[in-house]
Amino acid sequence: MTSTAFPMSLIREDLAAFGGYSSARTSFDGPPATIWLNANEASSANAADTDGRARRYPQPQPEALRTAVSAYLGADYEQVLLARGSDEAIDVLIRTVCAPGGAQGIITCSPTFGMYAVSAAVHGVPAHDVAQHDTGSSFEHDLESVAAAVRKTGARIVFLASPGNPTGSVIDLYDVLALADEIADVAMVVLDEAYVEFADDASAIAAVGAHPTLAVLRTMSKAHGLAGARIGALIAHPDLIAVMRRVQAPYPLPTPAVDVAIEALRPASLVDTAIRVDETVELRDRLAEIVSAARGVKVVYDSHANFVLARTSTPDRLIEAVRGQGIAIRDMRHLPGLSDAVRVSVGTSDDLDALAQALDPMTTLERNA
Ligand SMILES: *Cc1c(COP(=O)(O)O)cnc(C)c1O
């Protein structure tokens, strides 16, 4: 339920009266047509498009998918913006809220997902970083300093991720809501829940109705196994969603991607996804053990996601050792504060066997002890 108003002062002033692109799809009104000659589409389907599903422009926000996503997430239909991955939702949100060329920037908390700062840079708004604190086993946000940085810099969006990438750490939902309330007069709080299915923690979506400046990002790229379909969503106040619709590309969601996403949200697929998530969470402990046992590894952080982050005194050796066996892991050394870190995704049981073998010559464990 949404009863609280969205503070429209948080929308870019120059967009307040902006109508966006008026597409053939969105501008058609009148009695339902049977012959569609308004969008310059082809008169027959492509030979490769056997069921003809792709001949027409798609709905800008396909109703069936929006309904399925709202039901799956427990959100109101009007709170959901579907996007071409959460990457697009991040980009459209920044462009909707922050005017370029001035002080209306964003706050990030390193080490974190790179797209927040990339989207800000491309749009020409500043990104201010408030580093997380490394406790030795996880990363903790300094939300007091985040609130202070918002006041000081005039930033309009705070991006938080829980579980975080690449940290795998979670943030207490109570703390997120307290921050959202504290800065509600000047900035939004966006909680990126790309990995929430792998965590025990509850989603913040149920709190969006009562906290109008809180928004939540979700994706079908991770737990749902649809990274190639590029389907993400922002759950936020309907008034904000309505403006974002005018900023977003006219037809952001390709029909084949929408079709597979709808199938993925049917009960049978969701059961399958839940099983995959359980398996991943189980294998995560084994992955942590395998990486911990490799020579030179100093710490493997507690993870609530589908990967682990580790620090090693010999990152080059570790990366080379697995690469030699055809295994790619993510070098995180380009990130601030992670000059000795790698991130490894969970994979299958066989993948982990291969990883264990690749790291074996490097292990310090006495196997026959
Ligand atoms: C992987 C990831 C995403 C997903 O992005 P998509 O564009 O939906 O694929 C979003 N946020 C974080 C923190 C991620 O790690």
Does the beta carbon of 165 lie inside 6 Å of ligand 1?
A: yes
Atom from ligand 1 closest to the CA of residue 231: 8
Rounded to two decimals, the pTM is: 0.95
Does the beta carbon of 194 lie inside 6 Å of ligand 1?
A: yes
3-state helix/strand/coil string of 315-339: HHHHHHHHHCCCCCCEECCCCCCCC
The string of pLDDT tens digits covering residues 211-255 is 999 999 999 999 999 999 999 999 999 999 999 999 999 999 999
CA of 361 to the centre of ligand 1 (A): 34
pLDDT at 356: 96
The string of pLDDT tens digits covering residues 95-116 is 999 999 999 999 999 999 999 9
pLDDT at 363: 56
CA of 118 to the centre of ligand 1 (A): 13
Is pLDDT at 311 greater than 50 in this prediction? Answer: yes
The string of pLDDT tens digits covering residues 19-42 is 888 887 778 888 888 999 999 999
3-state DSSP helix/strand/coil percent for the chain, to nearest 5?
40, 15, 45
Mean pLDDT of 8-24: 86
Is pLDDT at 369 greater than 50 in this prediction? Answer: no
Does the beta carbon of 359 lie inside 6 Å of ligand 1?
A: no
Is pLDDT at 368 greater than 60 in this prediction? Answer: no
The SS3 call for residue 137 is coil
The string of pLDDT tens digits covering residues 314-365 is 999 999 999 999 999 999 999 989 999 999 999 999 999 999 999 986 654 4
The position carrying tokens 């990002």 is 217
Residue whose C-alpha is closest to residue 179's, from 207, 139, 219, 221 = 207
Does the beta carbon of 85 lie inside 6 Å of ligand 1?
A: yes
- DSSP letter string, 24-49: HHHH--SSPPSS--SS---SS--TT-
CA of 186 to the centre of ligand 1 (A): 26
pLDDT at 18: 83
Is pLDDT at 3 greater than 70 in this prediction? Answer: no
pLDDT at 4: 82
pLDDT at 366: 43
CA of 190 to the centre of ligand 1 (A): 13
CA of 209 to the centre of ligand 1 (A): 23
Q: Where are the alpha helices (DSSP H) in the chain?
A: 24-27, 63-73, 85-97, 115-123, 143-153, 173-182, 238-247, 255-264, 267-293, 315-323, 349-359
Mean pLDDT of 147-169: 98
pLDDT at 362: 60
Does the beta carbon of 70 lie inside 6 Å of ligand 1?
A: no
Q: What is the mean pLDDT of the chain?
A: 94
134 versus 366: the higher-pLDDT residue is: 134
299: tokens are: 């710490």
